[in-house]
Amino acid sequence: VVLFVIGIFAFLAYKYLIRKTQGSARVTDGTTQEMDHITDESVPNVDIQPLLPDIAEILGWKDMKDLAMRSGISGTVIDSIKLNHPNNHEECCIELLRKWVEKNGRSASQELVQSLRKSQKRDKAEKILEILRTP
């Protein structure tokens, strides 16, 4: 039984390392047209307050929560937002995004796109970039 459990852990660790290695190779490859398209574009520095509902809809609660936690917003703040809007992930996402924007200030639009790119959320970064560029 012990050997079986060790075998399972070894297999899972192997799969994790393979997936992580393949993911980083894909990121550093830099030859795909999509990646060149995204990384070569400049991110407009705009006031994103009026765009929060549209951006929150693209982000979704899970990715917004992850972004907030990685940027140092405390779990207490996140939990408080969840309690303010029970069973309404859209409102939670908008409010948490608002807090995140307040924390990041004028560079929030640029930070948002860069953070999404770093966390392998390029499709969402591209969609948000389109919103930021809409006059």
Per-domain boundaries in the chain: 44-133
Residue 37 has pLDDT above 60, yes or no: no
Which ranges of 1-135 does DSSP label H, i.e. alpha helix?
A: 2-29, 33-40, 52-70, 75-84, 89-104, 108-118, 122-133
Across the range 92-116, mean pLDDT stands at: 92
Structure tokens belonging to residue 6: 């060790």
Nearest to 88 by CA among 113, 54, 61: 61
Per-residue confidence band for 33, with pLDDT thresholds at 50, 70 and 90? very low
CATH T-level fold of 44-133: Death Domain, Fas (1.10.533)
pTM for the whole structure? 0.67
- Position 10 scores a pLDDT of 78
Residue 42 has pLDDT above 50, yes or no: yes
Contacts of 119 (CB under 8 A, 6+ apart): 63, 66, 67, 70
CA 37-38-41 angle, to 5 degrees, is: 85
**Structure-model confidence comparison of residues 31 and 74, the more confident one:** 74
Residue 100 has pLDDT above 50, yes or no: yes
Nearest to 65 by CA among 43, 91, 97, 88: 97
